[in-house]
Amino acid sequence: MTFAPEPGPWPSVAIDGELERAEREFLHTNGAGAYAMSTLALMHTRRHHGLLVAALEPPLDRWVILSHAETTVTVAGRPFKLATHQFPGVAPTLGYRNLKSFAQDPLPRWTYRLGKGVIERTLALARGKNAVVLRYRWQGSSPARISLMPLMPMRRIEQLAREHGGMKQKVTLRPNEVEVQPVLAIPPIIFSHRGVFMGSPDWWRRFEYTEDLRRYPDFQEDMWTPGTFELGVEPGAEVHLVAAVGALPEGTPEEIMEEARQHLLSQDLGSEASGFRRTLAVAADSFASDACARPAVVAGYPWLGVAFRDWLIALPGIHLSRGRVAQAKRSLAEATRWLRAGLLPKEIPVGSQRRVPSPDATLWLFEAARAVSEACGLDDPFVKGELYPALVRAYLRLRGRRLKKLAWANPDGFLQTEPPEPGTWMDARAAGEPVTPRNGLAVEHQALWHSACKLVGAWARFYGHHAVERAAEASRALVSAAFGARFWCNETDYPFDCTSSERASAESWADSTIRPNALVALAVAPELFEPWQTDAVIARARSELLTFRGMRTLSVEDRNFVGHYEGDASERERALHQGSAWPYLLGFWVRAVRAQNPGDEDVRAELIELVEGAMHGGSVLGHAPQLADGEEPHRWRACPAQAWSTALLFAAHGGDLGAD
């Protein structure tokens, strides 16, 4: 397998008819939550794969609209089938044998060798629209005929379609357009073409998704098709098929593709940056939903939604590290609009999904605000007029003088939470119960609360709001005075992961489990730690938590350590925070170690090598996955392209480490 070398960020893979080389995945997004994703062979291995996965409530509510465009190219009477599928009990179909190469430069492009001719297929999603353009360019000595059969599951990404009699078979024909609405719950699907459409509604059956074997009890699907498009193409010419939800996008297919291409090219940092940074900059753009009315940061593809914690942790790396200050402000403005009674929800709800307030996500709002203010200054109208008032509301609500519910400061000044859902980022659940219950005072929450109070106090002083300044400073001082005595564990030479809210009583307790949350606390609020404590935290984290993929969520020495993220849904959830290694935590590791050794160039070089190495070998070209096994060989697992993995590696590389 070969990849495009520097200086460009655009990956390419030489397939040469070898299926193993085409098993990695590509990802292409539209800036509004829609995506195209599959293996390089276009043999779907996940139910989430498709050529047009639309976001019907941008950037959320994703539906697999167009899974495949089953393609047969006929040259001089000889048909070449380009499709590769897995069906039960047989080898994959043989379309991959004609696949010469894949390149994402910047649009996904497949090159097939058909006898003595070559056909290129290029895919582009319309920016901000639920629409896809497929372009076929033919290089051969005689004309070719391309047959395209759209295969359409028409279902949400976590579901599977089964053959049924409920698909509406009506097809509406207009000049160069075909309209179908097989599912009345969603808008019609409109195809634009310059050929002949032959209606023949039918079902294709028992597509098998091999990756789903590891995640779901059911992994086979049937797909509906309305018929076949026949497109003739001359040597050196090209033809297009456009599929759109609701309405066709404005412009010609060429213009739609060029807009998508120019946008992607504009994300490249240019030849002055390293290939690593250029790759991460392009990857970061995949998660920014800037081309819709609700700008946000999508947590990951293909199945994660918009979680506020992920959004706010990732925001500096997704936007600010790429110099997109205006986009960062717009995204943060959207986040603050979701504050209700001073608290953010856990995630943006979809449909009838209930809204769950999250003190944890609200704490991360202050960290994102700090990063934005450092980029544009406290005199910026958005920071002064919108962001600062939102932070004051959030601070007062978290302090909880009037309402001791969900979150409030206890007599020692620590932030106490009682959420209806798990209250920290270790929020996995199995059989309805938290896998990692942290029902006391979480160490990273106290650091985040200290940092939030410090930020509000500094901003209030700058704006002349002295009552707010005094209150915030008093809150900060309480945490600072009590943190060391309450959270340092002398037996482990490491902070308690969490403690009871009661102090010195029969009900008091403290959890001395070695987890990376103390490292997060050290990175966020280093002033809470004495120098010798900083050294001790870093030493233990290095020996028991650090891997070349990320930081383990539990000490490798712990008897509850789970080294592999595998099994059924319940087993995976139990493994999620019991030893799995998370790349995003390397961002906090880099910040803490760099602060400990500010002038040591050997340490800096070591950290740069660690961050750059953490990206290698992911399933999706150019992207960092969610996590890896905590034990060697540290295989990548879970969501194959995650926002905060990309964002924190990117921010650490260029910000804390100053790498080019």
Q: Tally Cβ neighbours within 10 Å of residue 558.
A: 15
- Whether residues 53 and 197 share a domain: the answer is yes
Q: Which of 213, 243, 264 is at the close of a domain? A: 264
CA-wise closest residue to 26 among 3, 49, 8, 9: 49
**Chain centre to alpha carbon of residue 202:** 35
C-alpha distances in angstroms, 496 versus 228, 446, 488, 551, 576?
Answer: 63, 12, 6, 18, 20
- Residues ≥6 apart with Cβ < 8 Å to 582: 516, 550, 551, 553, 626, 627, 645
Q: Is residue 519 part of a domain?
A: yes
Positions of the chain with pLDDT lower than 70, given as ranges: 1-8, 403, 419-422, 504-506
Q: E strand or H helix at 123, and its extent?
A: strand 117-125
Global pTM value: 0.94
400 plus 257 within the same structural domain: no
Decide if 449 is inside a domain. Answer: yes
φ, ψ (nearest 5 deg) of residue 596:
-70, -30
pLDDT, residue 420, reads 65
Query: Cβ atoms within 10 A of the Cβ of 214, count?
Result: 13
Tell me whether residue 364 is in a domain: no
Residue 361, in any domain of the structure: no
The answer to whether position 571 is within a domain reads yes
Query: Are residues 397 and 259 located together in one domain of the fold?
Result: no
**Domain housing 502:** 387-656
Exposure string of 352-377, with b = 16+ CB inside 10 Å and e = fewer, is eeeeebbbbbbbbbbbbbbbbbebbe
DSSP string, 420-440: SS--SS---EETTEESS---S
CATH code at position 611: 1.50.10.10
Which of 212, 243, 264 finishes a domain? 264
In the chain, DSSP finds a helix count (H) and a strand count (E) of: 15, 36
Do residues 252 and 397 share a domain?
no
Token code pair at residue 502: 């009661």
Token pair in block for residue 217: 């009890």
Boundary residue ending a domain (228, 243, 264): 264
Q: What's the CATH number where 183 sits?
A: 2.70.98
Q: Is 341 a member of any domain?
A: no
**Within the chain, what is the greatest distance between any pair of CA atoms?**
87
The C-alpha angle with vertex 412 and arms to 407 and 414, in degrees rounded to 5, equals: 35
392 and 256 inside one domain: no
Q: Total domain count for the chain?
A: 2
Q: Which of 297, 331, 294 is nearest to 314 (CA)?
A: 297
Check residue 5 and give its pLDDT. Answer: 38
How many other CB atoms sit within 10 Å of the CB of residue 106?
21
In a domain, 447, yes or no: yes
- Residue 243 is predicted with a pLDDT of 98
Is residue 242 included in any domain, yes or no? yes
Give the Cα separation of 291 and 652 in Å (integer).
27
Structure tokens at 354: 């209930």
Non-local (6+) Cβ contacts of 526 within 8 A are 534, 592, 595
